[in-house]
Structure formats: C-alpha cells, structure tokens
Amino acid sequence: MIEMRKVFFSYKAGDEIQVSDLNIEIKAGEFVLLCGKSGCGKTTILKMINGLIPHAIEGNYQGKVTIYNKSVREMETFEIAEKVGSIFQNPKTQFFNLDSDGELSFGLENMGIEPCLIKAKVQNTINELDIENLKNRNVFELSGGEKQILAVASVYATNPEIYVFDEPSANIDECGIEKMREMLIKLKEQGKTIIISEHRLYFLVDLIDKAIYLEDGKVKHIFSNTEFSLIDNKMRKGMGLRAFTKKDNIDFVNPIEFHKTDEFVISNLNYRNNHKCVLKNMNISANKGDIIAITGKNGQGKTTLMKIICGLLKENAGTISYDGSLYKYKKRRTLCYMVMQDVIHQLFSESLMDEFTLFDSNVDKEQIDSILTKLELIKMKNRHPMCLSGGQMQRLAVAVGMLMNREIIILDEPTSGLDYLNMMQISEVIKEFSKNKIVFIVTHDKELIDNACNKLFEISDGEIYGFSERR
C-alpha cells in the first residue's frame, strides 16, 4: 500500500541528509509506530507520505514513495489529500476557521461535497467520536487537548484511508491522551492505516502492529508488536525511548504549607478574564533552589498563573513579593524570565551565541559553551536559530532561559516532543543552573518531574488542588 524505495532527502542541496536509503513497506490496515531519538527523520517520513515533500517543501529528493502503487511525486495534491489525513503536533497550524463547526466541515467543503451532506457527515463525526462538547466552540477558547481532538475529528470527517500523526500527545494532558487512544482504537477497528511518530509510548504499545526504529535518518530495526513490548528498560533508555508504562509521581507525598516568610510569596491571588474567574485565592510560597512542577489538566489556569508571575498579565487582586519586597506586575518583568511553549517566537538573533548575549552582554562565555555542550548544540553555536530542528530550538530556548540573569525562571512544557535522552539532558541542565534561582515548570511530563523537580503543585479549576514535596 505505502512503499518507500531507496529514498534520500535533505532540505537543501549540501545540507545534512534527513533520511537516507529508506526502504519501508506498510500494508493496508497496519498501525505503525515511527520511533527514535529527536531528529532521526520521523517527521520527514510523514511529510513524504502526505505529500508535503515534495509538493510544498523542496529539497534534494531521491528514490520513490508510492501510495496504492502511485508515485506521491506524480500525484496531484488533492488526490493525496483524499487518501491521507494529517494530524500535526501543534493543531493550531492546521486550523482555518474561528469556530469548531467550521473546522469540522472545512475539509469536506474543499472536497466539493454538497452542503446537505456536509451537515450530516459532521454530525456523524460528532456522534461517532463522542465530541458533542466541541460543537459550536471558539477554537481560541479550546484547551490544548480539545484542539488536538478537534484536529483529529476534522480529518476523520473526510474519511481518508491513511492517517499520519506527528507527536499528537506532545502538548496534551492525561485526559486528552486517553481520548486520543480511544480515537486510535476506533480507527484501528475500522481498518484504517495509521502511521504515528510519537515519543510518549505507554498509550500506544499494545495498539501497534510494528515499530520502525530510526537512527540518523536510517531504519535501524523493525520490531513486531511482541518484540517491541519485550525491550527491557536499559535497552529502551539507550535507544532514547520514553517509558512503556504509565508513570505516576509517587514520591511527592509530603504536603507543603504556605509560609509568608519564604523568599517568594504569592498571597490571595485572583484573576478574571471576560467575566470568568480563572484563578481563585492562590497562596504559594517558595525559596531559591526550588524546582516546582506546575501540573493539572489542560485549561485549568497553569499558563495564566505563570504569565501573571512574570508580569505578562495583571492580577485582579492579591500580591506577589520577593525577598520581602512587593513586586507589581510591570516590575516583575525584571525579576522573571519565561520560556514559552512556542519557542520559535522567542528566538531573535543571527546565531545561537547571540541569543545568550541579546539581553545580557556580560553572560559568561564559558557557561554558554558548557550548557550548549550538555545539550549537544555546541557544534551549531554559530548557526542561525531558524536552521535548527524543533527539538533543538526548544533546547536552545531552555538554555538561554537558565543562563538569563533573572531570579525566577518559568518553563512552559520544555520537554514536549523530546525523546528520553533529550529530556534527561534538559533535566540535568535545569538542576545544575538553578542553584540560586526559583524555577517553575508547567508540564504534563511525569518523567521530567521525577528527574528534575523537588516540589509538585497541582491546579484544578483555577484553585490549588495539591502542593507537595518529595518524601
């Protein structure tokens, strides 16, 4: 059904080869996992299957990719779109409408289907996927998990035979992952062909028919479901793969009391947005050296709280103080630095080195080299940040944040879409460079929490649900 024969690709002539001598065959109805360390070529393969390469992305392309014995190069884009549905890591990049109903019908409209049939197909999609809660919603008001589910549903409505998923769980909570799993089970039962690139593996291991392990753009090994599930922990970690079983942060059991005498204190914080109470009576205290995980379901107020702490949003009530001094929201911008989830919006300079000196020309050059070495970016230090892969940009943004001359560092999902080894590198860097800082990490990544954090703070419906530290 899908064949790749002697395929080579680099994004520009002379650039690093992304995939090399690929020979892959995927049968109709198979559920195939593409796995491997960040940058091993998984996303490139998906782009070759869905036709983005070469129809939208040019490069040095050799070999042949076929779907139903037709060359993807020779197919028209509308032909590919009828057969292949794509779900990307960031669903915002594939939305074309402001409302969920319009998004669900968009693909069908582009296929030229009659309006009366579109309405029926959209309702059928809503019923089959049990997403009545997503009807008639503003896409900008959806949580990260809801956006990802909507992206899957909008593709499902067009009924393609092949689905390609690129890190669909990267930015969603456990409820979103469970919903994603239900949808994958439904697609598998319908006999759809599924190709998924993913680092979070625990919700997939029992569903896949085979796993293709990639290394440096080449197929290193193809595992059957049984072979893959029998990989032991030592081998798994060496391959850069995340845990095969769901992880719980069982060490965080000791409740933390609020102390007004701590170095950083948030007292009775409240925030309203469009007449909705987003944060309610928040009381949090912390000290230098603390690395605090901020957890909770999507849409509970985690990122809003972080934006208030760093002065990007203004609280409606309450106070924030540091070292005994009150910090109003504008003043907090000199105290805090936040690494956003979409790091591409925070990289401004001509080289990696320049990113570190953009806000602080006195930053220690040896520290820059040290942190770039630890994150395997040292060979690229004179390269333009926009030439990096998504995972490399993420590591760079975290590195810049940790060396920033600020007392409080906020990291929003710093390991989304990163493999086990890169997650561990980020963990070590955070621990090493946070000695005299307070670090808040908004994350769903329980492996990161286990390896880097000493405190765990959970938000539910804008309120403190739990605040604990390691036993």
Q: Which CATH number covers residue 330? A: 3.40.50.300
Q: Cα–Cα distance between 234 and 250 in angstroms, integer?
A: 22
Measured in whole angstroms, how far is the alpha carbon of residue 349 from the centre of its chain? Answer: 24
Last residue of a domain, one of 191, 216, 238: 238
Asked if residue 370 and residue 282 are part of one domain, the reply reads: yes
* Residue 245 within a domain: no
pLDDT tens-digit profile, the chain (471 residues): 999 999 999 987 556 788 999 999 999 999 999 999 888 899 999 999 999 999 999 899 999 999 999 999 999 999 999 999 999 888 888 899 999 999 999 999 999 999 989 999 999 999 999 999 999 999 988 877 888 999 999 999 999 999 999 999 887 888 889 999 999 999 999 999 999 999 999 999 999 999 999 999 999 999 999 999 999 999 999 999 999 998 888 788 888 888 989 999 999 999 998 778 899 999 999 999 999 999 998 888 898 999 999 999 999 999 999 999 999 999 999 999 999 888 888 899 999 999 998 888 888 889 999 999 999 999 889 988 887 877 888 899 999 999 988 999 999 999 988 899 999 999 999 999 998 999 999 999 999 999 999 999 999 989 988 899 987
Query: What percentage of the chain reaches a pLDDT higher than 70?
Result: 99
Q: Provide DSSP, 50-96.
A: TTHHHHTS--EEEEEEEETTEETTTS-HHHHHHHEEEE-SSGGGG--
pLDDT tens column, 374-429? 999 998 899 888 878 778 888 999 999 999 889 999 999 999 888 999 999 999 99
Q: What is the DSSP letter of 404?
A: S
List residues bridging with 470 in a β-sheet.
Answer: 252
Is 187 inside any structural domain? yes
Domain end among 203, 238, 273: 238
Same domain, 373 and 428: yes
- Give the residue from 82, 81, 64 showing the smallest Cα distance to 73: 64
Residue 243 domain-assigned?
no
Token pair of 161 as six digits? 């035979």
Residue 200 covered by a domain:
yes
Picking from 238, 270, 300, the residue at the C-terminal end of a domain is 238
pLDDT for 14? 55
Q: Give the whole-angstrom CA distance, residue 154 versus residue 122.
A: 8
Q: Are residues 204 and 311 in the same domain?
A: no
Task: Answer whether residue 246 is part of any domain.
Answer: no
Within 404-460, residue ranges assigned H as helices are 420-432, 446-452
Q: Closest Cα to residue 151, out of 94, 81, 80?
A: 94
Residue 254's pLDDT is 82
231 and 257 in a common domain: no
Q: Please check whether residues 256 and 168 belong to one and the same domain.
A: no
Shared domain check, 101 and 194: yes
Is there a single domain that holds both residue 425 and residue 329? yes
- The helix/strand/coil state of 298 is coil
- Tell whether 212 and 335 lie within a shared domain: no
Tally Cβ neighbours within 10 Å of residue 197.
25
Residues 6+ apart with CB under 8 A from 243: 201, 202, 236, 447
Report the SS3 class of residue 405.
coil
Residue 244 lies in a domain: no
Asked if residue 118 and residue 157 are part of one domain, the reply reads yes
Could you give the CA distance from residue 381 to residue 228 in angstroms, rounded to a whole number? 37
With respect to residue 223, please indicate whether it lies within any of the assigned structural domains: yes
Q: Which domain holds residue 437?
A: 252-470
Q: Which two tokens stand for residue 157?
A: 């409505």
Number of structural domains the chain divides into = 2
- CA–CA separation, 219 and 313 (whole Å): 47
Cβ atoms of 218 and 8 within 8 Å: the answer is no
Asked if residue 399 and residue 421 are part of one domain, the reply reads yes
Same domain, 291 and 222: no
Instruction: Let me know whether 335 and 230 are in one domain.
Output: no
For tokens 């390691």, the residue is 470
Q: Angle between the 174-189 and 144-156 helix axes, to the nearest 10 degrees?
A: 10
